[in-house]
Amino acid sequence: MVKKEMRLVEREFVTDVYCDVCKKRIHTELDKLHEDYIHIEKKWGYGSKNDGKECSYDICEDCWAKIEAFMKK
């Protein structure tokens, strides 16, 4: 026998994403804008110059192209 009950579950979800370089809105649930972007996360290790620092960046395709071109120089 399976016994069921209704439960309200609170859930967190992403509603908007902004580019951390140009500040353009690149993702939103409201108007169904879903431009692709790159998400970068890093927690710096013990003893590094950024010991324990956590970084998180979302970057639109246009800004990523500029960063990528810079890295290839």
Note the residues at the interface with Zn ion (CB under 5 A): 19, 21-22, 60, 63
Tell me how far, at minimum, the Cβ of 72 lies from Zn ion, in Å: 18
Task: Report how far residue 4's alpha carbon sits from residue 56's, in angstroms, rounded to the nearest whole number.
Answer: 40
- Smaller CB separation from Zn ion, 5 or 36: 36
- Smaller CB separation from Zn ion, 50 or 67: 67
Tokens standing for 40?
């970068």
Tell me how far, at minimum, the Cβ of 67 lies from Zn ion, in Å: 10
How long, in residues, is the chain?
73
Using alpha carbons, select from 55, 63, 14 the residue that is nearest to residue 38: 63
